[in-house]
Structure 1
Amino acid sequence: MIEAEFEHKIAPWKIEEVNNLKKLLKEGNVVALADMMEVPARQLQEIRAKIRGKMILRMSRNTLIKRAIEEVAEETNNPEFAKLAEHIAKGAAIIVTDMNPFKLYKTLEESKTPAPIKGGAVAPCDIVVEKGSTGMPPGPFLGELKSAGLPAVIEKGKIAIREDTVIVKEGEVVPHKVAVVLSALGIKPTKVGLNLLAAYEDGVIYTPDVLKIDEDEFVQKIQKAFNSAFNLSVNAAIPTTETIETILQKAFRDAKAVSIESAFLTDKTTDDILGKAYSQMLALASEVSDEALDDELKEKLSSTVGDPAEEVKEEAPEEKEEEKKEEAPAAAGLGLLF
């Protein structure tokens, strides 16, 4: 019924366009909408070259794109897909691709190119004019620079900026005369390209605020999560492929420490226990007077360099080696995540 009324009231070429858009919308795993209103023809050609083979980009009227989305949603009984039409804005275009929404967003962002900012536009960041020569000879441009708020001077026969200057702060509107000066200086504070409005995949609509991910921060969170899980597994003695070796090493060290502390002799701890007892004996002997010691003890004390108790630390290198071994499984396990 809807289609019959549409065909009755709308020009034939529009009906054909909607049918072509519908066919396109059904082809890809991911369907997205992008705004390309501010993209000049030259930059659009460059963008098309960068995305060729990765996605299909189709421009059309917003009303026709909306109609095509709604009809496909009705024909496929998919109300979630119809919600994609709510994100149509400005100069919308359809993108059909097999890459996931996150990779699509990143690809579109990487395809953007630097461009001069227009007067009346909002600064996307602090716009800084760095100090140094502009390469331009003295003339009327010197007055334009000063009028725009830049500390311009003449140095070695050329116009120069005396110091780094924030000419427009982030979020401020760029005055027309400032935009002209920035363009003349070759400063391009903005990026021109396709702005993703929304992407649909498997019943879910993704918006740019969800798709914009700090990859370094995300990797750090994964590493932190892995380390936390690794430590929990070791401390709770829950064996896994990544932690079993470390758990056994920890159990061995703990058992060895108990054996030495309680003087419980085993083939692994006898030398350590005797070494500890010997060191304690020398330490005690060093605290009593010489009259209470026999010649053998005196000779042993005189041949001991430093604090006799330091001999107990002979097991330290082994402990450090065990600690290094404990770090290895964690690093190896983390590598499996990437």
Structure 2
Amino acid sequence: MVGRASKAEKKIAYDAKLCQLLDEFTQVLVVAADNVGSNQLQNIRHGLRGDSVILMGKNTMMKRSIRIHAEKTGNNEILNLIPLLIGNVGLIFTKGDLKEVREEVAKYKVGAPARVGLIAPVDVVVPPGNTGLDPSQTSFFQVLNIPTKINKGTVEITIPVELIKKGDKVGSSEAALLAKLGIRPFSYGLVVVSVYENGSTFSPDILDLTEDDLVEKFAMGLSMVTSVALAVHYPTIAAAPHMLINGYKNLLAVALETGYSFPLADEVKEYLEDPSKFVAAVAPSVGDVAPAGAEVAAPKEEEPAEESDDDMGLSLFD
């Protein structure tokens, strides 16, 4: 008969598994596992089968294994995982798309009642309406200052009431009332709190960025660099075109004011001396509109025999 493995053997096996995962995967999601039951965790494992592996354990054991493995392999990048191991957390090693894995994990949330002493993760609001409770239960509502009325032999809440605020502890009265009303206000599951990828760590909010967001942020940064470079007169690739244009504008202003001549200034002077050339330059793209200054053929006089205009007593050239 084979006996159960000792604690020492379990630690050795756990260390070997963690080291194997550190060698095999370069992406890790650090997840908070508060109030997550074993059945719920099993469902999440089943949903992530394929490119992802969930590993739970004590933080001290995980930190020790990571340090020893870093010393053995020389891979000091994995040491960046250690500061992330705070609280009741686990690790999801994955080769898949980080955003898709996080979305898959978020699907497995389970509703939970408000137990006494729990810290509320969200605001809890009791909606108005008939509670189905008999009038003898009004004491619960009175203790919590919830306005009610008796309607058809049952207690009815008249207005929505914020019973518990996010971050507050659930009291015994609040827990009892929510239980009587059948309200399960909280939902729990694995929550991604940090991301590790190839030695870098970052917030999971970055996973929500799209290509358009990245382009917008890059353009904003480029605009700021250009503005600073122009302000301090420091040439950069982004600022160089603006510097050249500004320099040309200054030279052009001097040339127009002093009579100094250079090819680009001469062309502008020519335009300013004869504004009709602006029209001449644009006219070919307009269509059949004749350029200004061009000779227009005089219309031929109508033959006396034509009576269509004479009958009207009007002339287009009067």
TM over 0.5: yes
Q: What letter corresponds to residue 69 of structure 1 in structure 2?
A: I
Q: Tell me the residue number matched to 1:262.
A: 279
Does 2:111 correspond to 1:94? Answer: no
- Cα deviations by residue, 1:141-172 (Å, 9 ceiling, x for unpaired): 33213322322322223322111111223333
Q: Tell me the residue number matched to 1:161.
A: 157
Aligned-partner Cα distance in 2 for 1:270–1:296: 25
Q: 2:99–2:207: 8 Å Cα contact kept in structure 1? A: no
The equivalent position to 1:75 in structure 2, one of 72, 77, 89, is 72
Q: 1:118–1:174: 8 Å Cα contact kept in structure 2? A: yes
Q: Tell me the residue number matched to 1:170.
A: 166
The equivalent position to 2:201 in structure 1, one of 205, 214, 222, is 205
Aligned-partner Cα distance in 1 for 2:95–2:171: 42
Q: Tell me the residue number matched to 2:133.
A: 137
Q: What letter corresponds to residue 162 of structure 1 in structure 2?
A: T
Aligned pair count reads: 238
Secondary structure of the residue aligned to 2:114 is coil
Q: 2:45–2:53: 8 Å Cα contact kept in structure 1? A: no
Q: CA RMSD in A?
A: 3.7
Structure 1: stretches of 5+ with no match in the other structure: 1-9, 229-235, 237-257, 275-293, 300-338
Q: Structure 1 residues 266 and 81 mapped into 2: Cα distance closer, same or farther (>3 Å)?
A: closer
What displacement does 1:204 show? 0.8
Q: Tell me the residue number matched to 2:190.
A: 194
The equivalent position to 2:31 in structure 1, one of 31, 34, 38, is 34
Aligned-partner Cα distance in 1 for 2:315–2:198: 85
Aligned-partner Cα distance in 2 for 1:184–1:124: 21
Aligned-partner Cα distance in 1 for 2:193–2:162: 31
Q: Tell me the residue number matched to 2:15.
A: 18
Q: Structure 1 residues 214 and 35 mapped into 2: Cα distance closer, same or farther (>3 Å)?
A: closer
Secondary structure of the residue aligned to 1:39 is coil
Structure 2: stretches of 5+ with no match in the other structure: 1-6, 221-240, 242-274, 293-312
Q: 2:135–2:153: 8 Å Cα contact kept in structure 1? A: no
Q: Structure 1 residues 15 and 171 mapped into 2: Cα distance closer, same or farther (>3 Å)?
A: closer
What displacement does 1:297 show? 6.0
Aligned-partner Cα distance in 2 for 1:198–1:266: 62
Name the structure where helix makes up a greater proportion of residues: 1
Q: 1:35–1:89: 8 Å Cα contact kept in structure 2? A: no
Matches within 5 A, 1:107-122: 107-122=104-119
Q: Structure 1 residues 219 and 96 mapped into 2: Cα distance closer, same or farther (>3 Å)?
A: closer
Q: 2:19–2:69: 8 Å Cα contact kept in structure 1? A: yes
Q: Structure 1 residues 219 and 150 mapped into 2: Cα distance closer, same or farther (>3 Å)?
A: farther
- Give the TM-score normalised by the residue count of structure 2: 0.61
Structure of greater Rg: 2
What displacement does 1:36 show? 2.2
